[in-house]
């Protein structure tokens, strides 16, 4: 009986991760990395415990069997901590292949030439600039997974990003900076980061940098704020997304008792999208997760009410829900954890310009440098680019500040959601291991707390 259960709950993953990263600072190439990781991992579920093992990838059947047996032995070793009732985990039978096919990759020489061209543009057009940094990178994940229940899948995610930072001085000689990120599916060959495309973005960032030279401090306290999509996406991901991951729900997140309750304005709906939205494939498409579960969209908030959580097979069994395909592993030697995929607040019906015009005294918050949140939805984000709004018009730039509060309170105060949608897949989500994710959303108008001088 036990051996049958073990065979049912054994899964094996072959995982290749390729990464490229180049950094040019003031015309000097300071980082030029290309790495490849290949690994084989196995995971077994026995007597209520998981066992995991991994090894560098080798082709022999004997090594595969050794890793599988090690995973079973590790599960047995865990069982020594005490008996535990085995859950009836949902079986996974997904069979399919999803491989990204893009353009031929750019060579290091081609990348270096483009970076040098971008630097030369900055040097020519912005003579007062203190520094210019350009960071480019891409990564490709290919995961072949087989499960004892008959699952056999190939999953592929490939994304690329170009980030540039312009550094200047304020009126007192202190350093100030503004950055911009361009990201998308595929490799650096698929992302359009040509000078022709980036020149208008560079000019816009330089304009913001000049505005920050005479920036004023934000007035601390509660204010009406218009959150640009980057800030709205961060709020959705960090402050509401994580508390809706079912392992954190089981661990005591405040959301556990809020299903069916209003946690946001009726204007707010929020979804963790698996692979397709509005008829197009999203930036980090997940058709099958790293347990072999078919991935489906998860409506987290529906017109203001909390409706569902993101699940692995185990959390779904514990809470009596259906699995959602959110179990993901970053490295070849990582175990799958409940992770987000493409998390976004859905567009509304307002125009951003009208949202700003409707603010008598408040702030437009455009960019964030970092953020943190906990399972109570309390959060604090650094705001690196913001402007005053006075009588419905954008005013002076604001020095770096902070945005903080309860995500639930902020989302409940939303009185306008823009009708556009912006996506980014440039960053990583941290939760014991990094993870490739995409964040998206419209602009939001709400009430929130800003830090002062």
Task: Dump pLDDT digits (tens) for 71-90.
Answer: 999 999 998 888 888 899 99
Least confident of 154-163, 167-176, 336-345, 363-372: 363-372
pLDDT recorded at residue 6: 40
pLDDT recorded at residue 359: 98
Q: What percent of the chain has pLDDT over 70?
A: 98
Separation in Å, CA 443 to CA 12, 33, 344:
42, 36, 11
Residue pair 145/11 in contact by the 8 Å Cβ criterion: yes
pLDDT recorded at residue 7: 39
Who has greater pLDDT, 293 or 369? 293
User: Distance from CA of residue 55 to its chain's centroid?
Assistant: 27
pLDDT recorded at residue 373: 87
Segment 280-325, tens digit of pLDDT: 999 999 999 999 999 999 999 999 999 999 999 999 999 999 999 9
**Residues 6+ positions from 398 with CB-CB distance below 8 Å:** 215, 216, 217, 218, 363, 383, 386, 387, 388
Return the number of other C-beta atoms located less than 10 Å from residue 313's C-beta: 25
Distance CA 400, CA 370 (A): 12
Closest to 321 (Cα-Cα) out of 307, 336, 311: 311
pLDDT recorded at residue 371: 77
Distance CA 250, CA 254 (A): 10
- Give the SS3 label for residue 317: helix
Segment 147-197, tens digit of pLDDT: 988 999 999 999 999 999 999 999 999 999 999 999 999 999 999 999 999
pLDDT recorded at residue 3: 40
pLDDT recorded at residue 212: 97
Distance CA 166, CA 122 (A): 9
Segment 214-243, tens digit of pLDDT: 999 999 999 999 999 999 999 999 889 999
pLDDT recorded at residue 1: 35
- pLDDT tier for residue 357 given thresholds of 50, 70 and 90: very high
Average the pLDDT over 268-281 and give the result.
96
Biggest CA-to-CA distance, the chain: 76
Superfamily, domain 2-212? PmbA/TldD superfamily (3.30.2290.10)
Residue ranges of the chain assigned to CATH 3.30.2290.10: 2-212
Distance CA 265, CA 304 (A): 5
């Amino acid at each position: 009986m036990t051996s049958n259960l073990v065979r049912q709950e054994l899964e094996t993953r072959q995982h290749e991760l390729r990464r490229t990263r180049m950094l040019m600072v003031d015309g000097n190439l300071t980082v030029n990395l290309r790495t490849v990781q290949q690994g084989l991992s196995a995971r077994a579920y026995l007597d209520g415990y998981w066992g995991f093992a991994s090894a560098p990838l080798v082709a022999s059947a004997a090594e595969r069997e050794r890793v599988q047996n090690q995973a079973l032995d590790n599960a047995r070793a865990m069982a020594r901590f005490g008996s535990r009732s085995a859950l009836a985990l949902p079986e996974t039978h997904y069979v399919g292949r999803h491989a990204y096919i893009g353009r031929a990759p750019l060579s290091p020489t081609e990348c270096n030439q483009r970076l040098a061209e971008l630097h030369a543009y900055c040097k020519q057009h912005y003579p007062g600039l203190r520094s210019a940094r350009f960071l480019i990178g891409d990564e490709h994940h290919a995961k072949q997974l087989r499960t004892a229940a008959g699952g056999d899948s190939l999953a592929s995610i490939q994304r690329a990003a170009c980030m540039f930072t312009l550094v200047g001085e304020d009126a007192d000689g202190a350093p100030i900076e503004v950055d911009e990120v361009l990201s998308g599916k595929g490799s650096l060959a698929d992302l359009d980061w040509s000078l022709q495309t980036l020149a208008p973005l560079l000019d816009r960032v330089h304009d913001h940098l000049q505005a920050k030279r005479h920036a004023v401090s934000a007035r601390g306290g509660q204010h009406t704020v218009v959150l640009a999509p980057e800030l709205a996406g961060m709020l959705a991901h960090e402050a509401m997304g994580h508390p809706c991951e079912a392992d954190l729900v089981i661990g005591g997140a405040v959301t556990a008792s809020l299903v069916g309750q209003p946690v946001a304005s009726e204007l707010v709906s929020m979804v963790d999208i698996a692979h397709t939205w509005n008829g197009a494939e999203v930036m980090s498409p997940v058709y099958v997760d790293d347990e072999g579960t078919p991935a489906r969209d998860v409506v987290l908030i529906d017109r203001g009410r909390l409706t569902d959580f993101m699940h692995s097979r185990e959390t779904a069994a514990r809470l009596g829900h259906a699995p959602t395909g959110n179990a993901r592993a970053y490295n070849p030697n990582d175990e799958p954890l409940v992770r987000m995929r493409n998390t976004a607040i859905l567009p509304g019906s307002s125009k951003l310009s009208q949202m700003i015009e409707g603010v008598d005294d408040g702030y437009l918050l455009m960019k964030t440098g970092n953020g943190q949140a906990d399972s109570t939805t309390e959060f604090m984000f650094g705001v690196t680019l913001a402007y005053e709004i006075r009588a419905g018009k954008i005013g002076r730039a604001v020095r770096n500040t902070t945005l903080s509060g309860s995500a639930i309170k902020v989302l409940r105060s939303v009185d306008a959601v823009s009708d556009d949608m912006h996506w980014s897949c440039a960053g990583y989500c941290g939760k014991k291991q990094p993870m490739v994710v995409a964040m998206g959303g419209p602009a939001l108008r709400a009430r929130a707390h800003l830090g002062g001088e």
